[in-house]
Amino acid sequence: MKILIVLAALAALVAVTSASGCDKLQRLKVKGQWSRAYSSGHDREDFSQAIWRAVFAQVPDARALFKKVGGDDTNSGAFVAHGLRVLAGFDITVALLDQPEALKAELAHLKTQHDARHIPDNYFEAFRLALGHVLPAQLGRCWDKQAWSDCFEVIAHGVKGH
């Protein structure tokens, strides 16, 4: 009987810790997987293009937000630069997942940059889904969907402010 109680308590503990979302271990995993997928040079440009094309395929209207930075042509220099700029910001948030104070500061910074653009929530969702397809394409089996889903939520929540 006692053992059952202990087991139940343990099960409850596991449930509580895993339900918290984006825990410490998940953060480490996401960091490691991101740095492999993010890569460098031409590979990074291709990675970025793939993500943005996947975003625009889902929400074509989002292109209008990127008019000033060459959104009409994802191959243009202006858009390549912009796409990489956004990923560089995302890279900072991922890198800081295990440094709460600095993460908070970076998310606040990104929030002010996005506030004025009035980005609907479904665009963030499109970005999440785009990542959810391009990352496994880049990483193969070594991709943890749940960890990404949980930790992306932390980042998107910070940038959106809600």
Partner 1 sequence: MLRLFVLLCLGAFCAAQEGRSHCCSAEDRNIVQKQWSVLWKDTESSKVKAGFARLILLKLSEQKPETKALFTNVDIDHPQGGVFTAHCLRIVNAIDMAINLLDNPEALDAALDHLADQHHARAGVKKEHFKAFGDILAGALPRLLDDYNIMSWRSCFRGLYAKITSKLDA
Can residue 37 be called a binding residue for partner 1 (CB under 8 A)? no
3-state helix, strand, coil in the chain (%, to 5): 80, 0, 20
Find the length of the chain: 162
Does residue 28 interact with partner 1 by CB under 8 A?
yes
Q: Does residue 144 bind partner 1 (CB under 8 A)? A: no
Query: Is 162 a known ligand-binding residue?
Result: no
Among 23, 58, 65, 89, binds partner 1 (CB under 8 A): 89
Within its chain, how far is the Cα of 22 from the centroid? 12
Q: Does 88 bind partner 1 (CB under 8 A)?
A: yes
DSSP secondary structure string for all residues of 121-151:
HHHHHHHHHHHHHHHHHHHTT---HHHHHHH
Task: Provide the annotated binding site.
Answer: 114
The residues binding partner 1 (CB under 8 A) are 28, 31-32, 35, 40-42, 44-45, 69-70, 76-78, 80-82, 84-85, 88-89, 91-92, 95-96, 99-106, 109
